[in-house]
Chains A and B, each alone.
Chain A
Amino acid sequence: MILVTINRSIYFAFQSFWRNIWLSLATIFIISLTFMSINFLVIINAISDSAIDAVKERVDVSIYFKQDVRESKIAEIKSHLETIPQVKEIIYISPDANLDEFRERRKDDSVIQEVLNELEGNPLGATLIVRAKELNNYPEILEAIDNPAYADLIEKKGYDDHQKAIANINTITDNVKKGAMVVTIMFIIIAVLIVFNTVRIAIFTHRKEVGIMKLVGATNGFIRSPFILENVFSGAIACGIAIGVIYFILSMIQPHLANFFAGVEFDLIAYFNSNFILIFGSQLVGIILLNIISSSLAIGKYLKV
């Protein structure tokens, strides 16, 4: 009997969906727009997070040692710095590697090249590049490097913190997120009203049927379920449309993003693929819950027979 009731509810829901096709299409359109605006917010989030991560990756402290500091001493300092919990990694660059890199960087500068050729030996010392786990760990690391015992060994320290760049990115993305949030909330409110009123109109047009169903012994659940299911169909179709559109947009913008994030691995499609269930599943569950609540509220009025 339960199976028969479920089948009949699904049948009535489909029947009502087709008989009110324009209303159904309008509902699907609005819910699709809501899904798209929510996913636009997800895209903005993913891009801004990656942009910030990319900049963060470039923040480090470079310790330039004097030319005559022995490698064993540098290794000792490196070992000491590695004991600091906030340190993520330390890269050692030998004097030769530094010189090669410098030559390569200034290969078009003939004067520099000439000077280097005339010099006997390597004028550059070794370098340690220290990266912190978090941006706010750098002051502690810098304090540790400022140890008086190292003062005579260090030529200079370089700390390019990119804080300004990160702050700018944060400001821009925060503003975009706020804008997207406002649009999303607007669409959610519109979707709630549309879904709510769609159900109300559907139930209003079926009020005689609802009354007769009650009189002949239909349970409230049986009366409600086709209306709820009908809106769940609309939500599922809208979700499917939104997924199609979002993936189409992703495929269009991905090449541009790849250029923008040159050198940083960032694949928005892969991001959506790996979070597919979380992103779209939660949205689908949300719209189904919304349908159930609004349908239940709207139909309650006509069930008191």
Chain B
Amino acid sequence: MIHLLNITKKFDSKTVALKDVSLHIEPGEFVSIVGQSGSGKTTIARIIIAEIKPNNGKVVIGGWDITNIKSGQIPQLRRQIGVVFQDFKLLSKKTVFENVAFALQVSGVSKSRINKIVPQVLKIVDLGDKVDRYPQQLSGGEKQRVAIARSLIHRPKILLADEPTGNLDAINSKEIIDLLLKINEFGTTVVLVTHDKEVVNSLKKRVVTIDEGVITQDQKVGKYVI
């Protein structure tokens, strides 16, 4: 599903974020990419969504070589990858429904279809009764669930979560991780980028450890070992 082959990414001559990194993620896997701040894990996430391009190596997503993807093709890629961030990236002047619907509106989906799909997805994340709330009226966990609902709206094959529990307390973090596991059970490949030790240890899933731009460990059922 995701193949990174000998990826090197330099931001300038002195800052090498990734050094000859190779990573293969199969369809339906749940993979945690862990490492300290500045280790290069977010760089991997940014390369997967084509926010940045590698200096060397090859990136293949779902059989599509996106190494030198054209800017006009990026929207098509991003509709196939759901993305969730630590800071939720919700629009404060839009309701829960509108925030989720927004992802469909920009893709040219009809209003009737939006009205049909959005409530279904909000029900999956257990926010069916809060469709008219604004982000500031929600808890951190609920905000993140809205973000997850939005990321799922295109029925992506990959869900990339970059520090999704970074702004949440333990209870909300567990809710979000449970939701990601549930999404993974439906067949979606989940890539969790995190430095939350407890979360990673509780998952008992594959763990890829990255340190100073190099993959130091790749365990089938791993633990946070830094």
Contact = CB atoms under 8 A, between A and B. Distances in A.
Contacts of B51: 305
Interface in B59-98: 71-72, 74-79, 83, 89-91
A222 B106 contact: yes
Contact of B91 (A209, A219, A220): A209
Nearest to A304: B71
A2 B107 CA distance: 10
Interface of A: 1-2, 4-5, 8, 208-209, 211-220, 222-223, 305
A211 B87 CA distance: 13
A217 B75 contact: yes
Contacts of A305: 51
Interface of B: 49, 51, 71-72, 74-79, 83, 89-91, 102-103, 105-111, 150, 153-154
B108 A217 contact: no
Nearest to B99: A212
A212 B107 contact: no
CB-CB nearest 8 A-B residue pairs: A218-B106, A216-B103, A217-B79, A217-B78, A1-B108, A5-B108, A217-B75, A219-B75
A1 B114 CA distance: 13
A279 B39 CA distance: 62
Nearest to B90: A212
B109 to A, nearest CB: 7
A303 to B, nearest CB: 8
A217 B79 CA distance: 5
Contacts of B77: 217
A16 to B, nearest CB: 12
Contacts of B103: 216-217
B107 A215 contact: no
A220 B78 contact: no
Given A216-B78, A216-B103, 10 more contacts: A208-B91, A212-B102, A214-B75, A217-B76, A217-B106, A218-B107, A219-B106, A222-B106, A223-B106, A305-B51
A27 B204 CA distance: 59
A219 B79 CA distance: 11
B83 A215 contact: yes
Contacts of A215: 49, 78, 83, 89
Contacts of B78: 214-217
Contacts of A1: 108
A208 B77 CA distance: 20
Contacts of B74: 214
7 contacts: A4-B108, A4-B111, A211-B89, A212-B89, A215-B89, A216-B79, A216-B150
A209 B108 CA distance: 17
B71 A8 contact: no
A220 B71 contact: yes
Given A215-B78, A216-B78, A4 B91 contact: no
Contacts of B90: 212
Give the most central of B49, B91, B106, B111: most A CB within 10 Å: B106
B109 A212 contact: no
A8 B72 contact: no
Contacts of B76: 217
A222 B76 CA distance: 13
A187 to B, nearest CB: 35
B6 to A, nearest CB: 26
Contacts of B150: 216
Interface core residue of A2, A4, A5, A212 (most chain B CB under 10 Å): A212
A216 B148 CA distance: 12
A2 B110 CA distance: 10
Contacts of A214: 74-75, 78
A216 B49 CA distance: 11
Contacts of A209: 91
A301 to B, nearest CB: 14
Nearest to B113: A4
Contact of A213 (B106, B108, B110, B153): B106
